[in-house]
Structure 1
Amino acid sequence: MASNIDTLVTVFGGSGFLGRHVVRALARRDYRIRVAVRRPELAGHLQPLGRVGQIHAVQANLRFPASVEAAMRDSHAAVNLVGILAEGGAQRFDAVQALGAGAVAKAARDAGARMVHVSAIGADENSTSRYGQSKAAGEKAVLEAVPSATIFRPSVVFGPEDQFSNRFAALARMSPILPLIGGGLTRLQPVYVGDVATAVADAIDGKTRAGATYELGGPEVLTMREIMEIILRVIERKRMLVSLPFGLAKLQAFFLQFAPGALKLTPDQVELLRGDNVVSDMAQRAGLTLQGLGIAPDSLEAVAPQYLWRFRAAGQFQRKSA
């Protein structure tokens, strides 16, 4: 059986939440991995995911094309995972998710490398959210530079280090009330980070269709209310769920965008919740899904207890009621 050890994959944004799982999936398939990040000195946690010398971090910033080109040198494939949920300083949606994605794709084209780009189901040039608009612009820039690129659009991604289920569990630990923006009726299809990482590794293996856009969702479509209820069951806390109209939520977000940690909420994030975030019927019919890749997705309710136990009143020592 041929080995992948001579294939160098450069993973942009490989030190983040999704990145560490993608790096692990690629390492298990024997690829050599160059992790391109803004702060390589903070990427040491990736080293134990592979063998000695298999994973190497280098400095690159998508806002500076020269650094992207340097990171791509001699690479056989590129994976772009870079994305931001909120703007801050020079990290703007257009600069990172649109122009930055284009810079990676151009560098991959010039290096003759395969290209895998992770976007989001919310990508839409007509979106009222600037996040969604920039994601759509990024996809367009990638396909213009590398028409054969594989694009993945995951729904909201959950897992041990996420800013989704952990965030709501943290809020439940500090507040007796949890807000449901828009009444909690927005439909999502939470997808496990490990399943997304497997899909990315499959794309590097050449198992995806050239130039295709895949939509990745979990096994269940859930409303925000149902997701909150699952999280509360897992952490064994009772909290009041209160509906919050979009208008009032956006007003509160104007101030909460400057808040720390789990309290942070931006007006743009409120806009994203106005639309459902689920796999389209078109993608399902075309087989452009996890199931189409032969991946059986894990559910939020099955995986969350493995890492949300720390939000229970007594943590892992919480006694189960009879």
Structure 2
Amino acid sequence: MAVVLVAGGTGFIGSYIVRRLTQDGHRVIVMSRDPGKARGRVPDGVEVRAGDVTDGATLGPALAGAEIVVCAVQFPNHPVENPRRGHTYIRVDGEGTVRLVGAARKAGVSRFVYISGAGTREGQTKPWFRAKLMAEKAIRESGIPYTIFRPSWVYGPEDRSLNKFATFARLLPFVPVIGSGRTRVQPLYVEDLADAVAASLRTGAALNRTYDIGGPQELTMDEIIRTMLWVMGRRRPLLHSPAWLMKAAAWPLQFLPTPPLSPGAVDFVLMEEPVDNGQVLQDLGLTLTPLERGLSYLRPEPR
């Protein structure tokens, strides 16, 4: 078993990775901008260290003794950027990961695992893709053995995207949907991604590999929401709003202290990037969770 530092280990995806690696017997360290808050959000036995990917001076002490680094960093209120607070893809996910890779190389880290995103490839122009490309390039050129995961839309009990639709279904007589509802996605259960990260540390087959990973079903947004409603035991019509209208409505919201939506976030939500699970299933032996089973946390409690 290894000493594994998880950057972003208190976030939605990172926290599941931390729990899974702990179950595998690794000694896990969580790097956090706010160690005081983080300590109450990690399993017993997990060490918390101060570190911020936007501040290179904090990274050397945080990485001391780490053998493996897992980078699952996201900025607060992702995917809605807030440039005034420095919460942008380029600054955090791009430049921040580059900084973390440099510190990992100096610390003698023997493995780097990075959570990238589906659709990351040369020629993409959206800020989230440019940031991921910047990060992936730094990782590949670092000389550190690596594994990169490019997940599709990740959902689970603490996610801030699919669960918004569940909240709408509880509070409103309809469920609002941006766009036509025909955008196709492969929703990936967060525990499956955590399993993939854990499995990658157990096999040499994952060394210096980049894996697409998504759920086992390719579904439209309407199909995803209707599956969610069925699991919740609710009937709600879906109310579609054109993307241009939502961008216009979101434009002034992006200037709020904590914006709930932005034009860029609308584009992020409407991304359609199919993934091929063939290689990740072959190398890591995963079993992927169908959406209905993954959403079981939304089932109403029996009375």
TM above 0.5: yes
Quick check: 1:190–1:220 contact (8 Å CA) kept in 2?
yes
Q: Which residue of 2 aligns with 1:80?
A: 71
Q: How does 1:4-83 map to 2 (within 5 A)?
A: 4=1, 7-47=2-42, 49-50=43-44, 54-83=45-74
Which deviations, in whole Å up to 9, do the C-alpha atoms of 1:251-298 show, x marking residues without a partner? 12224446799x922211222244413214xx63xx1x2454100100
Q: How does 1:224-239 map to 2 (within 5 A)?
A: 224-239=221-236
Alpha-carbon spacing, 1:29–1:295, altered in 2? closer, same or farther (3 Å): same
> Which letter does structure 1 place at the counterpart of 2:201?
I
Q: Which residue of 1 aligns with 2:95?
A: 99
Of the three residues 141, 150, 155, the one matched with 2:152 is: 155
Q: Distance in 2 between matches of 1:239 and 1:39?
A: 40
Deviation at 1:208, TM superposition (A): 4.0
Q: Which residue of 2 aligns with 1:312?
A: none
Which deviations, in whole Å up to 9, do the C-alpha atoms of 1:183-234 show, x marking residues without a partner? 0111110111111111111222344432211011111011111111111112
Q: Distance in 2 between matches of 1:245 and 1:126?
A: 27
> Which letter does structure 2 place at the counterpart of 1:174?
L
Q: Distance in 1 between matches of 2:211 and 2:36?
A: 33
Quick check: 1:43–1:57 contact (8 Å CA) kept in 2?
yes
What secondary structure sits across from 1:199 in the alignment? Answer: helix
Q: Distance in 1 between matches of 2:172 and 2:94?
A: 37
Q: Distance in 2 between matches of 1:236 and 1:224?
A: 18
Q: Which residue of 2 aligns with 1:164?
A: 161
In structure 2, stretches of 5+ residues that fail to align are none
Which deviations, in whole Å up to 9, do the C-alpha atoms of 1:40-78 show, x marking residues without a partner? 11123444x35xxx4100111100112122211121110
Q: Distance in 2 between matches of 1:133 and 1:214?
A: 18
Alpha-carbon spacing, 1:105–1:208, altered in 2? closer, same or farther (3 Å): farther
Check if 1:223 corresponds to 2:190: no
Quick check: 1:62–1:100 contact (8 Å CA) kept in 2?
yes
**Identity across matched positions, percent:** 35
Q: Distance in 2 between matches of 1:139 and 1:9?
A: 20
What secondary structure sits across from 2:301 in the alignment? Answer: helix
Alpha-carbon spacing, 1:266–1:208, altered in 2? closer, same or farther (3 Å): farther
Root-mean-square deviation (Å): 2.2
Quick check: 2:80–2:260 contact (8 Å CA) kept in 1?
no
In structure 1, stretches of 5+ residues that fail to align are 310-314
Q: How does 1:72-221 map to 2 (within 5 A)?
A: 72-84=63-75, 85-88=79-82, 89-113=85-109, 114-146=111-143, 148-221=145-218
Deviation at 1:173, TM superposition (A): 1.8
Moved more, 78-87 or 240-249: 240-249
Alpha-carbon spacing, 1:181–1:23, altered in 2? closer, same or farther (3 Å): same
Q: Distance in 2 between matches of 1:56 and 1:77?
A: 15
Of the three residues 206, 225, 238, the one matched with 1:241 is: 238
What secondary structure sits across from 2:180 in the alignment? Answer: helix
Which deviations, in whole Å up to 9, do the C-alpha atoms of 1:57-108 show, x marking residues without a partner? 0111100112122211121110000023222312221110101111111122
Alpha-carbon spacing, 1:252–1:90, altered in 2? closer, same or farther (3 Å): same
Q: Which residue of 2 aligns with 1:270?
A: 266
> Which letter does structure 2 place at the counterpart of 1:166?
N
Q: Distance in 2 between matches of 1:256 and 1:126?
A: 29
